[in-house]
């Protein structure tokens, strides 16, 4: 990125939003959402790309150390660990077959998963998400 570009853009009246350093959207979704929302994200991924592909990506990104079944067992035993959440974000953003690649898919996730569970998400994620919704919504 050109040095000073963001500063010049903002000085000219522009606005921008970024995810937190080192994180992509899928990382934020899995790391910052409530346990119920992560469960719903996995269900949505199952609908979109299928359980087999999800399991394959998890196995690949964990070098064969973690399975989808093991992660689902965490859900049943009180919640997803930070390590599993990080792994899910990484697995979901697979370059060739990402779990949520389509605009329609992300619209469904925003409407059906993020919005209903947002109050229970991590505060930093809530702030960024509220900024996004405010920025993309037309004034009343």
122-134 pLDDT, tens digit each: 999 999 998 888 8
Residue ranges, the chain, pLDDT below 50: none
23 sits in the region (left: phi over 0; alpha: psi -120 to 50; else beta) called beta
DSSP state of 114: I
Count of CB atoms situated within 10 Å of the CB of 15:
9
Q: What is the pLDDT of residue 15?
A: 81
Question: What is the C-alpha separation between 115 and 110, in angstroms, rounded?
Answer: 6
Given this model, what pLDDT does residue 128 score? Answer: 92
């Amino acid at each position: 990125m050109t040095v000073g570009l963001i500063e010049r853009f903002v000085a000219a009246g522009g606005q921008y939003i970024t995810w937190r350093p080192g994180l992509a959207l899928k990382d934020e979704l899995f790391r910052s959402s409530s346990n119920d929302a992560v469960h719903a994200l996995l269900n949505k991924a199952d609908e979109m790309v299928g359980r087999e592909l999800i399991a394959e990506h998890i196995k690949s990104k964990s070098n064969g150390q973690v399975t989808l079944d093991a992660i689902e067992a965490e859900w049943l035993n009180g919640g997803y660990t930070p390590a599993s959440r990080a792994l899910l974000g990484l697995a979901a953003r697979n370059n060739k077959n990402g779990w949520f690649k389509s605009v329609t898919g992300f619209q469904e996730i925003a409407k059906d998963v993020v919005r209903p569970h947002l109050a229970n998400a991590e505060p930093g994620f809530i702030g960024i998400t509220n900024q996004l919704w405010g920025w993309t919504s037309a004034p009343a």
